[in-house]
Amino acid sequence: IYVEKLTPAQVTQPYPIVFVHGQAQTATNWLNKPDGQPGWASYFLDKGYECYLFDQPFRGRSPWQSFSEPLETYSAEHLQRYFTAPERYELWPQASLHTQWPGTGVMRDPIFDSYYASAVPFVSDNVLQQTAMRDAGAALLDRIGRPVILIAHSQGGTMAWLLADQRSNLVHSIVSIEPGGPPFSNAMFGNTSARAYGLTDIPIAYSPPVSDPSTDFSTTILPSNSSILADCIIQADDPPARQLAKLSKIPVLLVTTEASYHAQYDWCTVRFLQQAGVQAEHMQLSEIGIHGNGHMVFLEENSDEVAAVI
């Protein structure tokens, strides 16, 4: 994979940050915002952190492919609906609260067009993508050689679980911004089964071990008792829930914005993590006075305000 290392003039923080971008994105997410303002890489460099940014395998500046599977893309309309202007479509209850995207968030607005120009084709095979990212990411952590903080977004959140599972001794903590979810199912993009291992599509270490996820997990539905939240599929209490043993000693902060579609179901991911023995804290930005953000929070107008609380 292509990796950039950014070093501040004076390193004052003990743990480097490794940024993990999401689907159809690249490491450029973290460098500059589409309105021309500096991104989170600059913010954390100014705070004295070494920063590592990479493009996931098969994408952007990590283009090598050993397969013939066609790549997919997100249309401009898709990004408008779900990322930059959800308030225009109101596809979920919280969408109308979105206010922080700079500009109109739709095609022919120069800020939207700049953002859309940064979106790239991606592999839709989750097993292939996760396997490649697990191996490449583990090699990167080995190269760094000391514990890091993972800041991961969306699909990148799935990759962070896998990296921590593979190299738990080299991950100090995880900040997961609206990670792929919820467990075992899709809540927004079709009510279908997904993430057979709960958080991932490929094996991750449980205790007791999981050899066949279709039969080894005993699950139950946890109702939300709310018209604006999704119900959850989590592990049942009997037999006792399997534990994510390699993640249990790694602190996790899961961040959810006010207006994203993740506002419906990130609570399910937090509950699943806690049930599996992970030290997971849920930061809902609206509950600490930060309002109006959507899924691409680190590109929005108040991105530095959000960075300051994580």
Q: Which of the residues are catalytic?
A: 154
**Could you tell me where the beta strands, DSSP code E, fall in 127-200?**
148-153, 171-177
**Could you tell me where the beta strands, DSSP code E, fall in the chain?**
3-6, 17-20, 51-54, 148-153, 171-177, 219-222, 232-235, 252-256, 280-284
CA 218 to chain centre: 26
Q: Nearest CA to 17 among 292, 234, 300, 298? A: 298
- What are 177's strand-pairing partners? 153, 255
Distance CA 100, CA 299 (A): 9
164: its two tokens = 């921590």
